[in-house]
Amino acid sequence: MTPEGVGPCPTGFFCPTETEAFICPEGHYCPGTANVRPLRCYPGTFNPNREQSQCSLCPPGHVCPDFNMTVPLICPAGFVCAEFGLPEPVVQCPQGYFCPAGTLTFDL
């Protein structure tokens, strides 16, 4: 939808009707064109910004356990979160090592 109100709803926006266009909110994404509603960022991703066409993968050292996340959570103590896109911690700290919150590598 252009400023004149014609054409498909643009990327980063959603248009529930032919005459309304809304900026895609944080925690959501609006890919491509002609979105009628925003899509929720799924677990393992987050989006702190408005008007986005995609969500970002949760970075190493963090987890994104919920839908609609705007900020990733620090990997909990006792786990290693070495990968991108983790919805939850899956690798426990190796026996005999100390893994504080935010541990993102096996280089202990």
For residue 13, the tally of other CB atoms under 10 A from its CB is 21
pLDDT of residue 41: 98
Tokens of 82: 């070495």
The string of pLDDT tens digits covering residues 12-38 is 999 999 889 999 999 999 999 999 999
